[in-house]
Structure 1
Amino acid sequence: MTEKWQSIIVKELETAMSAIDEEQLDALVDALMTPNRRVLCVGVGRVLISMKAWVKRLLHLGVDINYVGAETEGPVGPGDLVLVASSSGESIVPVQIAKKADSVGASVFYIGCTPDSSVDQIADQRLYLKGRTKFSGDDEVISIQPMSTLVEQQLYLLCDVIALEIMKRNGWTEETVKNHHANLE
């Protein structure tokens, strides 16, 4: 039975990830690689857990990144980037953070499933994912997994795709990345 679930989950991820718009993905990589830019991530629940993985890996690639609420969170302003991850684009915390980021002149990048959502309307740029939101109708669901699980999985994998693209663009090897990895483990 376990193999059946594994196969279904991998197929769902393959279908969803293959639907990602390459131009939107390139725009996200460009935004992350902009020099002298602070990047903050926001999400709630398991989405935030996936975004924390972005922070860890992208720090290894020289991105000045953190997540909203971290003890070491710094300010953002004009020229900085706030990544707002929310499948629905309507969760209270991401919506309010997007509004605040916009009000201080930071660029807002929405990563989620819902065009015309509150966050999408605030965002300067966006990358749409396929998956269930808390507002999805039965005809919209492309996953047997509960709630926004498919979106959370895509977020985690998306970071790895972005990391490889940043490495490629910079001509870096794994050895380059290791030089930025923690060494007191």
Structure 2
Amino acid sequence: MDTVKYAAEIVKELQRSVERIADAQAEALADIILRSDKVFVAGAGRSGLMGRAFAMRLMHAGLNAYVVGETVTPGIDKGDVLIIGTGSGETRSLIPMAQKAKSLGAAVAAVTISPESTIGQLADALVNLPGATKDQASGGHATLQPMASLFEQTLLIFYDAVVLRIMEKKGLDSDRMFGRHANLE
């Protein structure tokens, strides 16, 4: 199969994945973000990269959004939300973050393949995304892509869709958001 055919198959996989996302779960995530004072985003590996892109767009939308682990990230408090993107829901570095956020009175939202996971069980809001974790990908799941690529791609598309919903709820457009874009580049 050539590269273009692989790309076409990836798009088909993404279409099937997006169609399986529950509207009510997505709406609940947008709502918890909008009523939070600060939004913290975390994830490991490629899921973490998708989270960084999400935090940037939330900042462009005028929200106080932060990436966990950055030197300029403030502390989390009651009234805040921690959003964790994790395929397995068992990433060892992310579980203590969820536990700490809960202990400080913050809400936890999980975007995961595995709602029954440790992080899924800790979550106040949960979005179940389809896909295969990096360990499952070789086990015959319906993806031609390696490891957790389908989850990570679906995660980015989902995060962008949440941003669009937040823009709609806040009456924002791209022109208004561009005013918050980095200008020291």
TM-score, normalised with respect to structure 2: 0.93
Q: Report the counterpart of residue 21 of structure 2 in structure 1.
A: 20
**Which amino acid is the alignment partner of residue 35 of structure 2?**
T
| Offset at residue 135 of structure 1 (A) | 4.7
Secondary structure at the aligned position of 2:105 is classed as coil
**1:47-126 paired onto structure 2 within 5 Å:** 47-126=47-126
**Which amino acid is the alignment partner of residue 9 of structure 2?**
I
Cα distance, 1:174–1:135 mapped onto 2, change above 3 Å: same
Q: Report the counterpart of residue 175 of structure 2 in structure 1.
A: 175
**Which amino acid is the alignment partner of residue 13 of structure 1?**
L
| Offset at residue 155 of structure 1 (A) | 1.6
Equivalent-residue separation in structure 1 for 2:68 and 2:174 (angstroms): 28
| Offset at residue 174 of structure 1 (A) | 1.7
**CA contact under 8 A between 1:85 and 1:94: conserved in structure 2?**
no
Q: Does 1:6 align with 2:7?
A: yes
Equivalent-residue separation in structure 1 for 2:91 and 2:78 (angstroms): 24
**Which amino acid is the alignment partner of residue 159 of structure 2?**
C
Residues 21-80 of structure 1 deviation map (CA, whole Å, 9 limit, x = unaligned):
000000111111115x11111111111111000111110001111111011111111111
Equivalent-residue separation in structure 2 for 1:63 and 1:31 (angstroms): 12
Equivalent-residue separation in structure 1 for 2:95 and 2:142 (angstroms): 25
Equivalent-residue separation in structure 2 for 1:127 and 1:45 (angstroms): 19
Secondary structure at the aligned position of 1:142 is classed as coil
**Which amino acid is the alignment partner of residue 87 of structure 2?**
S
**CA contact under 8 A between 1:89 and 1:119: conserved in structure 2?**
yes
Q: Does 1:40 align with 2:40?
A: yes
Q: Which runs of 5+ in 1 are unaligned?
A: none
**CA contact under 8 A between 2:61 and 2:172: conserved in structure 1?**
no
**Which amino acid is the alignment partner of residue 104 of structure 1?**
L
Secondary structure at the aligned position of 1:85 is classed as strand
Q: Report the counterpart of residue 163 of structure 1 in structure 2.
A: 163
The CA RMSD measured in Å over matched residues stands at 1.4
- Residues matched between the structures, number: 183
TM-score, normalised with respect to structure 1: 0.93
Q: Which runs of 5+ in 2 are unaligned?
A: none
